[in-house]
């Protein structure tokens, strides 16, 4: 363990004490002040960001990735607007969820409290820096941010503006700490800060997440890998099925709740596969299928076993034909990542069976998987989408950044 990272852990832990004492008004004023400062310092942020953009271009990064990295005036306005919105949300911290009086007179209350220190490990988009700070600050948590080396100048600039603003408001500037050393050794150390960091949230590709899960001694919330399916049941409204599939696959490529794989009941396969193929080809989506799908429709390429478990994040989709809803459910449970799954059916029993038996964070009947998102679910914001079962599952809003504490009021009770 390097002194560098353990010192950051101790600073973060120490700052929780001050965060615990902040009231809602101070926190919301702090968030609005930071939003204002980000707007005012737009030129500074863009000039620092330009260093990252130039380095990325020199290193030959693809234009799509460079674009994710770039801060424009609009994107800075978007970050600021995000903080203003978070300021306007209800604060869950301090809520007493329940209070019971036991037979011995003890009053046992369950109160929502901050998690403490939240570590976020993420890749190139610098707007995550402001978003993550905002959600964690709103819930009285300290954030330790470890962004990618690609965005280091942008992240340093954003965190500098945040910390200076907090200091100017007499708020704890260590509410957000950037890990400026972006070496691999330091990120390994960060994952070992058990007792100083309360939870780690990796945001990025499957490789990053798997590495954090394998190496962290700090509890991890896994987010955002989505091998999502749409199952077209034998009792589906086929027109609805095609509309939903088009939306789930193509409304936005490269997001975790996009549909990557179709499962089609054999009784409707002959009719619906050509309809789906036509619609997706218009959006330039490559279709890969099993033997039956290939037989039904010219132009469908043969899928391999690997296709069933692949999250393409691209203009590709796979198609499998099944002979029963049970086979569909088994196939999906074997290959999915626990994110979002949909059935298209007009059959009551099949709708319920699918919702009962599919093991995923969000199970849809007759709707697009693209709705799995904190804003669409009405949370007002999200820190990510959990694909694990502990603590939080599905889109994580402010509540997912809190825990509970039992507060017990006695008047001398002892245990018999």
Q: Which residues bind its own copies (CB under 8 A)?
A: 16-17, 20-21, 100, 102, 106, 108, 115-116, 194, 198-199, 213-214, 217, 219-221, 237, 240, 243-244, 246-248, 251, 333, 351, 355-357, 359-368, 370-372, 376-378, 388-391, 393-394, 403-415
The DSSP line for 267-303 is: HHHHHHHHHHHHHHHHTT-EEEE-HHHHHHSTTPEEP
Closest CB to its own copies among residues 113, 152: 113
Closest CB to its own copies among residues 312, 379: 379
Smallest distance from its own copies to CB 42, Å: 29
Smallest distance from its own copies to CB 107, Å: 10
Instruction: Find out whether 155 and 125 touch, Cβ atoms under 8 Å.
Output: no
Closest CB to its own copies among residues 258, 321: 258
Closest CB to its own copies among residues 291, 359: 359
CB atoms under 10 Å from CB of 408, counted, come to: 10
Beta strands 107-114 and 117-122, pairing class: unpaired
Q: Is 327 exposed, middle or buried (0-12, 13-18, 19+ CB in 10 A)?
A: middle
Smallest distance from its own copies to CB 237, Å: 8
Closest CB to its own copies among residues 46, 343: 343
Closest CB to its own copies among residues 50, 357: 357
Instruction: Find out whether 219 and 200 touch, Cβ atoms under 8 Å.
Output: yes
Closest CB to its own copies among residues 61, 396: 396
Rounded to whole angstroms, how far apart are CA atoms 207 and 300?
29
| DSSP annotation of 252 | S
Residues β-bridged to residue 386: 223, 394
Smallest distance from its own copies to CB 353, Å: 10
- Alpha carbon separation from 285 to 62, 311, 328, 359 (Å, rounded): 21, 14, 23, 27
Smallest distance from its own copies to CB 338, Å: 10
Name which of 40, 27, 38, 28 is nearest 172 in CA terms. Answer: 27
Closest CB to its own copies among residues 155, 369: 369
| DSSP annotation of 212 | H
Smallest distance from its own copies to CB 222, Å: 9
Backbone angles phi, psi at 22, to 5 degrees: -75, 140
Helix (H) or strand (E) run with residue 155 in it: helix 152-168
Smallest distance from its own copies to CB 404, Å: 6
Closest CB to its own copies among residues 284, 411: 411
Closest CB to its own copies among residues 52, 341: 341
Smallest distance from its own copies to CB 57, Å: 33
Smallest distance from its own copies to CB 377, Å: 6
Rounded to whole angstroms, how far apart are CA atoms 244 and 368?
5
Rounded to whole angstroms, how far apart are CA atoms 307 and 316?
10
Smallest distance from its own copies to CB 366, Å: 4
Helix (H) or strand (E) run with residue 129 in it: helix 127-138
Please say whether the dihedral angle defined by the alpha carbons of residues 181, 185, 190 and 194, taken in this order, is positive or negative.
negative
- Alpha carbon separation from 126 to 138, 145, 154, 371, 411 (Å, rounded): 19, 11, 6, 24, 52
């Amino acid at each position: 363990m390097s002194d560098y990272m353990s010192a950051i852990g101790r600073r973060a832990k120490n700052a929780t004490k001050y965060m615990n004492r902040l009231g809602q008004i101070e926190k919301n004023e702090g968030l609005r002040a930071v939003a204002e400062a980000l707007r005012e310092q737009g030129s500074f942020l863009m000039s620092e960001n330009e260093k990252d953009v130039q380095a990325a271009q020199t290193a030959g990064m693809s234009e799509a990735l460079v674009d994710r990295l770039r801060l424009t005036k609009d994107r800075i306005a978007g970050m600021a607007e995000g903080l203003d919105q978070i300021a306007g949300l209800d604060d869950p911290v301090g809520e007493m969820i329940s209070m019971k009086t036991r037979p011995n007179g003890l009053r046992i209350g369950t109160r929502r409290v901050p998690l403490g220190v939240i570590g976020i490990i993420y890749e190139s988009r610098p707007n995550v820096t402001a978003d993550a700070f905002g959600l964690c600050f709103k819930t009285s948590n300290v954030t330790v941010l470890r962004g990618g080396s690609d965005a280091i100048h942008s992240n340093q600039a954003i965190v500098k503006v945040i910390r200076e603003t907090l200091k100017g408001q007499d708020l704890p500037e260590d509410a957000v700490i950037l890990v400026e050393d972006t070496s691999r050794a330091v990120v390994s150390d960060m994952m070992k800060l058990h007792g100083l960091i309360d939870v780690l949230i990796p945001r990025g590709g499957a490789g990053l997440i798997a590495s954090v899960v394998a190496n962290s001694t700090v509890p991890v919330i896994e987010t955002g890998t989505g091998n999502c399916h749409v199952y077209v049941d034998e009792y589906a409204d086929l027109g609805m099925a095609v509309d939903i599939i088009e939306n789930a696959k193509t409304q936005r490529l490269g997001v975790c709740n996009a549909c990557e794989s179709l499962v089609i009941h054999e009784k409707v396969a002959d009719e619906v596969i050509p309809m789906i193929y036509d619609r997706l080809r218009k959006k330039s989506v490559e279709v890969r299928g099993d033997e039956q799908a290939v037989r039904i429709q010219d132009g469908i390429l043969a899928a391999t076993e690997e296709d069933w478990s692949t999250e393409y994040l691209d203009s590709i989709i796979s198609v499998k034909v099944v002979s029963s809803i049970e086979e569909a459910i088994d196939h999906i449970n074997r290959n999915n990542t626990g994110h979002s799954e949909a059935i298209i059916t007009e059959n009551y029993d099949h709708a319920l069976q699918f919702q009962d038996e599919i093991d995923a964070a969000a199970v849809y009947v007759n709707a697009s998987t693209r709705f799995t998102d904190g804003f669409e679910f009405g949370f007002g914001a999200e820190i990510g989408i959990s694909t694990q079962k502990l603590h939080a599952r599905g889109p994580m809003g402010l509540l997912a950044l809190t825990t509970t504490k039992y507060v017990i009021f006695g008047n001398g009770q002892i245990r018999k």
